[in-house]
A and B are shown apart, each in its own frame.
Chain A
Amino acid sequence: MIRKTGYIVLGIIVGGLLEALFIGYDYYIVALMILFFVVASDIIFFNTGLSRSIRNIEVRREIESNSARKFQMRPIRIFFTNRTRKTVYFHYYDTLSDVFNTEGEFQGYITLKPGEQVKRDYSIASIAIGKYKVGPVIIYAEDPMKLCISSYTAPVIDEMIVSPALSDIYTQRSERLSNMKFTYGIHYSQKIGQGYNFYGIRPYNESDDTKYIAWSRYGILNGEDIYIKQMEEERQIDVFFVVDYGIGMNQGTRQKRMYDFVIATVMNASYSIVKNHDGVGYIINSSKYDYFIPAKKSQEPIRKFEQTISEIRPNGDFSIFQTFSRIKRDVKKNALVFVITPFSYPESFRKGTRKEFETNKKVSLFILDPYDFMEKRKDDVYSALMKNSGLKHYRYLTALSKFFNSIGIKSSVSREKDLLYRIMAAYRYGKLTNEGA
């Protein structure tokens, strides 16, 4: 394929040739004619030779494993085999998402003799969770004058499933004392009433069942007083995390992405809750995704959540009304529901009636402030602009939060540094007040 530069050079030469012909200067005519044909031959030889030969290069990729944790290096090998009868030389690069850090020869220059095979090794490590394509391998060659370029996309594409790094989900490790800091002292919730363990006695009311009368305490004070035995039972609660996985979650910089941070935080909170003998379940919601993972008092739903989240990336729109109707429909048991969303694409809440927000569950809404995920620069003008727009957005989110609080949904604006604390505080409050029980 001739480049624009090629056409420009040929155009200039032909223009010069025409001028030389009109003037009739022979030396200049012959010089330009030779140059024109040298350039033209270069282009034609390239188009009929190397440009076609690179299409017969056989490319094969070997990946040790298609799944990895964040920051985990995965070695990759690419084999190039020359299936032509000519020596070919070309540049190559493996198409990789910007989430991958690379080490080694993922791009370079190769010269291959007929039938020769070469191997190139490199490693990739993802800096974000999700499913990413590795490939295709692009091969391209240029003519000596760099007037033409020809590229060939070798149809080899693999997928890499990236789950959160172990360092991100630190609460998974039970030996860390700090993992217990949120749940210290709230290992069970009590409900006083009928149950299995004796709790105490209280004076008898007319509405009490006579079978619970503590006859051993009958008349202990004045000979006529009757007491009722109170029993207690330990109740375990279920916590449902509703994660907005719309495209609005895909914000941030290369180093710090919102969805990545939210997933790590949710998983940390989940491990803490599970270790406190409560159940966790998940709803991953957007117009493109609708995953429901039922709550269980084990690590199984967390693993399922991790697996699900590793295979998708934020996509589609998020609607709070649809999410609430999903909660109403699927969360059968009375549970604590934590909805986490940045409200990147706001809906018209005024249109919604109070009924649409009713879920009969204890819903806590965590509105995520995107300011921490904005790119920070030393440029004064840029940082002033960012601060100003960040403040404006924060005011908007605070207003949203007030609106939700006014209609009976606990809501708060969270930032990167306090999302986990807010989730755990809401859990602790729910646990102590038996909200989810």
Chain B
Amino acid sequence: MRPAAFVFAVASLAQWLVPLVGVWQHERIIARGVAVRFECAAPDPYDPFRGRFLAVRPAETMVLAPEGIAQSADGANRIMVPVWATLVADEHGLSHIKSLSLEPVSGPTVIRLGARLSGETNGAKMVMISWPLDRFYLNERLAPDADRLVAERLGRGKPPVAEIRLLDGQAVLTDILLDGVSIRETVKQQAK
């Protein structure tokens, strides 16, 4: 085999492997992960490669800082650090952050997040949370209607609910729900 043909074969294999590894990881989380729901906001922006999406913003962004997070004296607090959050569900089935840890913890409802020291509230140190899910892709015909629907509901104090699957601290956003129904279905119903 010529060297060029060998390099081409390896490159072609890698071109399949990179996306397929992503497919395998996320299919595994969807199939075996625990379903978790929480309130969020979701305006409608655009990605040049992947089209329209709802920019998912979980409601919980400021929480009590975990023990041992860097203090401001050395400046390290300005950099986002990984934390592991344990989620618990309330009586409505919506999840909230129960605790944060700087060390990896195990459990079915643990999710890896980013955290940065943000200041103090009532004397307690708080961190700003960065969630590993920020977009829910929609068909470009549905996205404007979905955006309008979400805005109306947010105005009435009824935010949408994001449904995710969790496995080994990794998350996949599977749906956005309005009154327990997928936003895709709701928008399609309204369009009829």
The finding on whether chains A and B are genuine partners in a shared complex, rather than unrelated, reads: no
